Structure 1
Amino acid sequence: MSDLSKRRLKLWIRMLGVTRTAENRLREFLRVQHGTTLPRFDVMAALYRRREGVTMSELSRMLLVSNGNATAVVDRLEAEALVKRSPSETDRRTVFVTLTEAGLAVFEVLAADHEQEVDAIFANLSEGDIDQLTEVLKRFGKQ
């Protein structure tokens, strides 16, 4: 292995560590402060972005999870009246999922607090650091 190869491996491990640390902090924050989970937040965020609703298959693809995982989260959110399912007018096998008005209100509070927590997690980064990291990650994403 070359020195550069070893450095890339160390970078990969460091990136994983930062990601896991941030994700664990967000999970704990959502659990303690809001009594919810990161998967629930992710489902609500996806539905918030697509207000017209999405099919369960689309939702699974958006979240990169199985249909079963998405269905379990949607079932719980529906039981709390935060989302609703509506059959398609053109294909009765297709069901659309949308946030309810209550779901929108809950998510807007969650999203604002989530943003503040992410801001706190990365508070030691300057604007220049953020710009530099963003540029590097954009280049990496184009591979």
Structure 2
Amino acid sequence: MGDLAKDINSKFENNRVKAMLNIIYTANWITSCQNEFFKDYAISPQQYNILRILKGANQALNVQTIKDRMLERSPNATRLMDKLCAKNYIQRFPSDYDRRVVNITITQDGLDLLNSIPVDFNKSLLKNLNEAEAETLSNLLDKMR
């Protein structure tokens, strides 16, 4: 089991400071694990998130709606979509009503990629928590926000 104080060789002035640093440290650890996992699929976790959003919507979405639904708000979402478009995982087309709006759909190649990724790829990240602990953690994070 991890111990933040040992991992970063530090002491904390109180438990709130320790909790905040632990959240940041853990978020970076999760990001690192996910970046490594998605290398095999030649996409980033953020690109996976965009594909997941489009698949779940089951309809075309405009860029702003996708940005609003992303887990990690990214100012470079358009660049991420450019890369997905270049790989033929998404398709862009102009709105019929507003030429400033671009709509995005997931392609069959994008669906095939999503279907090749195990749905439980994050399971190992949570292996040390039972269901009750995971619920408590989730509730505490919700309360914090």
For normalisation by structure 1, the TM-score amounts to 0.81
Whether 2:115 is the aligned partner of 1:103: answer no
Q: Which has the higher helix share?
A: 1
Structure 1 ranges of 4+ moved more than 4 A: none
How far off is 1:93 after superposition? Answer: 2.2
2:4 — aligned with what? none
How far off is 1:27 after superposition? Answer: 0.6
Compare relative contact order (CA 8 Å, sep 6+) and give the higher one, 1 or 2. 1
Q: Pick the aligned partner of 2:42 from 35, 41, 50.
A: 35
Aligned identity (percent) is 21
2:138 — aligned with what? 134
In the alignment, residue 80 of structure 2 is paired with which amino acid? V
Structure 2: any 5+ residue segments left out of the alignment? 1-12
Question: Which whole-Å deviations, capped at 9, do the CAs of 1:12-48 have from their partners, x for residues lacking one?
Answer: 10111111111110111111x2222122112212222
For normalisation by structure 2, the TM-score amounts to 0.80
The RMSD of aligned alpha carbons is 1.8
Q: Does the residue aligned with 2:133 lie in a helix, a strand or coil? A: helix
In the alignment, residue 83 of structure 2 is paired with which amino acid? R
Structure 1: any 5+ residue segments left out of the alignment? none
Describe how 1:14-33 pairs up with structure 2 within 5 A.
14-31=22-39, 33=40
